Structure 1
Amino acid sequence: MEGTILAYSNQLSAYKETRIKTASQGQLIIMLYDEAVKQLDHGLELLEKDAAGKKDPGRIEKISKSILKTQEIVTELMASLNFDLGGEIAQNLFSLYTWFNKELLGANIDQDILRISRVRNMLNDLRSAWSAIIATTSMEGIKSPSTGVNIAG
């Protein structure tokens, strides 16, 4: 049974790796937003359990890891902005991503459900906006570069 689980895990990892390597820029952006929202949802779920009176000190580390993973994703989005092509939109996204990371830092320290929820909802809104843009433009036809994501605005 253990061998079957390991084989399935290896196949799933290979599928995910292929999916990422063959994704367009737009698809990669959506994947990053999806993962950021997923990580914050996980952290919020754990925080809500603590708030419901089911305190578990072991959850603090898991909550922190979820928030830190989201900060890493936001930082990747920041680093991949193309200010030459993206202009004002790229500058505005950079400011927003900076604010996300500051909010998440404070929310992680304070274990603040409201601040995490606010960032989560805004990331989800951005994800929806990118999804709509991708659906209505030819951006999906552009293959991603082998190094990082390049957001053109």
Structure 2
Amino acid sequence: MSNYNPQEALKQYRQLGIESEISNASPHRLIQLLFEGALARLAVAQGAIERGDLAVKGEMLGKAISIVGGLRSSLDMEAGEISERLDQLYEYINLTLLEASAQNDVEKVNEAIQLLKTVKSGWDDIAPTA
């Protein structure tokens, strides 16, 4: 049983304007795309903080927070404890990113990246076989 609601993931991706890749994506792949999108934006945000580019930092952190919110809203909360734990983790990641934005803290962004990479790695490992 999946911990994610594929309809919510699809809705989040459509809101981000990434229609082309999702049209044929499986529900599992949609979640992978959300992880990839968040991680890419966080990498750009890190560079922006290091360069002092506050506008790009704010934009990229805002988009990453939105994507993590999409991952969170995609959780099937009836699936049990794993979904509850992921919900708490995503909430923590978003709070960490808000702090990173307020404090221009690259280390907080890096913490969020590492947490997302860990969850993404687990998600990637349970990929359905074709």
Give the TM-score taking structure 2 as reference length. Answer: 0.81
| Aligned counterparts of 1:91 and 1:124: Cα–Cα separation in 2 | 19
Size of the alignment, in residue pairs?
Answer: 113
Shift of 1:19: 2.2
- Matched with 2:121 is 128
The answer for unaligned runs of 5 or more in structure 2 is 1-17
Shift of 1:45: 1.2
- Matched with 1:63 is 57
Tell which structure's C-alpha radius of gyration is larger. 1
Counterpart mapping for 1:11-50 below 5 A = 17-50=19-52
4+ aligned runs moved over 3 Å, structure 1:
none
Give the TM-score taking structure 1 as reference length. Answer: 0.70
| Aligned counterparts of 1:94 and 1:109: Cα–Cα separation in 2 | 23
- Counterpart residue identity of residue 33, structure 1: F
| Aligned counterparts of 1:92 and 1:17: Cα–Cα separation in 2 | 30
| Aligned counterparts of 1:119 and 1:19: Cα–Cα separation in 2 | 25
| Aligned counterparts of 2:44 and 2:77: Cα–Cα separation in 1 | 32
Aligned-residue Cα RMSD (Å) equals: 1.4
The answer for unaligned runs of 5 or more in structure 1 is 1-15, 51-58, 141-153
Structure 2 SS opposite 1:22: coil
| Aligned counterparts of 2:26 and 2:70: Cα–Cα separation in 1 | 16
Q: Which has the higher contact order (CA 8 A, sep 6+)?
A: 1
| Aligned counterparts of 1:113 and 1:91: Cα–Cα separation in 2 | 28
- Matched with 1:99 is 92
- Counterpart residue identity of residue 95, structure 2: K
Shift of 1:49: 2.6
| Aligned counterparts of 2:85 and 2:93: Cα–Cα separation in 1 | 12
- Counterpart residue identity of residue 129, structure 1: G
Query: Identity of counterpart residues, as a percentage?
Result: 27
